[in-house]
Amino acid sequence: MEPPEAPAGHVYPTGMKLGLLMTSLYIAMFLVALVGWYGAAYMLTNCALLLVFGKIYIFLNVKTVFLTTVVLFEVASAVCGAAPNSVAFIIGRAIAGLGAAGVQEEILVLIVYAAPLAKQPQYQGFFGAVYGISSIVGPLIGGAFTSNVSWRWCFYINLPFGGVVLLFVFFLLRVPEGVSFRDSPAVWKHKLAQLNLEGVVILLSGVVCLCLALQWGGFTYSWSDGRIIALLTVVIVLLIAFISIQILRPKTATVPPHIFIQRSILARFWVSCTVGVHMTLFVYYLPIWFQTVKGDSAVESGIHLLPMVIAMVVSSILSGIGTVRVGYYTPILIAGTCLVSVGSGLLTMLQVDSTTGQWIGYKIVYGFGLGCCFQAPKMAAQTVLPRREVAIGASLMLFEQTLFGAIFVSVGQNVVDQRLALLLARIAGVGLTPGEIESAGLTGLLDRTPSEDHPAVLEAYNSSLRLCFLAALAFACLSVIGSAGMEWRNKQVREEVKEAGRTRSL
């Protein structure tokens, strides 16, 4: 199963045509990442199906798959925007996660037909920046719509931009024809077997059970409760089943075990997981810190993320340029993981009376380091893996970040809720039960407490949220281990070898 290469004589788009095409792909990546922070249902289906879409282009026309998943994402956005109840909203988010998985994965394949090999790293570098920007700008845009219009516009806004993506990609991108939809049932059965759908179902079920156990355990139910024990037992059984399938069916494995034997891929796995955790925790809980401890509105809390965004964009662009010029991505990754560790440590020092200058400086350090961490894991897969496994390696990177992010969103919520309930119980004038705290939400507790107790409540908020920041710091420090374990491979040499091989084959 070979990943696609542009055929000999393929005419790449140039000039304005190339600019419009790449802009539409960046918009698509921006949209699917932008609303990825509005619920675990999205993240769970997204991470599980990333692995499927890492293989599906082998059997179908990649352009058709991409356009179909964009339409699916648009329909899901409309469902979420018009949802009359929470059930409809959750269903819409789950469908959106499916569509987003296809968009994220197929973009990495479409770039092969949009730009020649020598220019692909340059354009791929911007995808990391776009993804990171949208992940952090999401709370800003969502807060603006929620405060001034309606939360429903967080989803309606996708519709016109998605239409632009469909229009430009349909007319401007040319790819070779894929397999025929008229293949016999036997052929389609073989193709579906290659996707290892049973492994995906088992994995998704296990992640759902794990997230529920981590979110409920110790707060909604005690850790010794039969429901929590049952969920964790199911997780262990499903994990064993998933690993067994990967080992017993190596040719169709969703996660080929032999890939992880390679040193750089194992190190990259470590980095992707740890970066996904600390980035998710900060993106979720820094806006809450501003809204609760500093009393900001949703819009203001989003605006206060801009120092992090700007620093991240600058460093992402500079790291991409530096890697293309020097050829080595490992030193940039090491510098990035060290910087995010320092920045995370600074962010754990946030207090109720922290000044504007302090939190701006802390975020700049963290954001600059984060931007340096986006490109290297993907470049490692492109450099050290055989060509036939590069797409699987890229999908694994997205999967790792999304999976661990989804898990630790639940963990973070549990930690904050338990710590806050404990601290509020020590305040004489505050008599809220854990259930009342959960129903009020983090930003609504001040309205339920006497004004004279507000300073103590704010300290409780700050202490609870800092536990999440401390967890993020731990994972940021762990990411340094992965970056140090990455091989020093020259990407330029690998690309020259690939190009020479293609030239000899013509």
Region 1-180: CATH code: 1.20.1250.20
Whole-prediction pTM value? Answer: 0.74
CA atoms within 13 A on the CB side of 135: 27
Name the amino acid, one letter, at 341.
S
**pLDDT of the residue at 202:** 84
- 131's enclosing H/E stretch is helix 120-148
Region 259-506: CATH code: 1.20.1250.20
Helix (H, G, I), strand (E, B) or coil at 221: strand
Cα of first residue to Cα of last residue in the chain, in angstroms, is: 21
**pLDDT of the residue at 346:** 95
Contact in structure between 276 and 404 (CB atoms under 8 Å) = yes
Q: Please, where in the chain does CATH 1.20.1250.20 lie?
A: 1-180, 259-506
DSSP state of 3: P
Contact in structure between 427 and 444 (CB atoms under 8 Å) = no
pLDDT, tens only, 61-97: 778 888 888 899 899 889 988 888 877 887 888 788 8
Show the CA angle centred on residue 209, arms to residues 205 and 214, nearest 5°.
Answer: 150
Where do the H-state alpha helices sit in 173-258?
A: 185-194, 197-216, 226-248
List of residues 6+ apart from 297 with CB closer than 8 A: 143, 147, 291
CA dihedral of 201, 204, 206, 207, whole degrees rounded to 10: 180
User: Which pair of tokens denotes residue 409?
Assistant: 């969103």
**Cα-atom radius of gyration of the chain, to the nearest Å?**
23
pLDDT, tens only, 425-475: 777 555 566 566 666 665 567 777 777 777 888 888 889 899 999 999 999
Enumerate residue ranges in the chain where pLDDT < 50: 1-3, 34-38, 179-181, 493, 496-506
Name the amino acid, one letter, at 189.
K
**pLDDT of the residue at 439:** 62
Angle between helix axes 375-384 and 390-425 (nearest 10 degrees) is: 150
Name the amino acid, one letter, at 299.
V
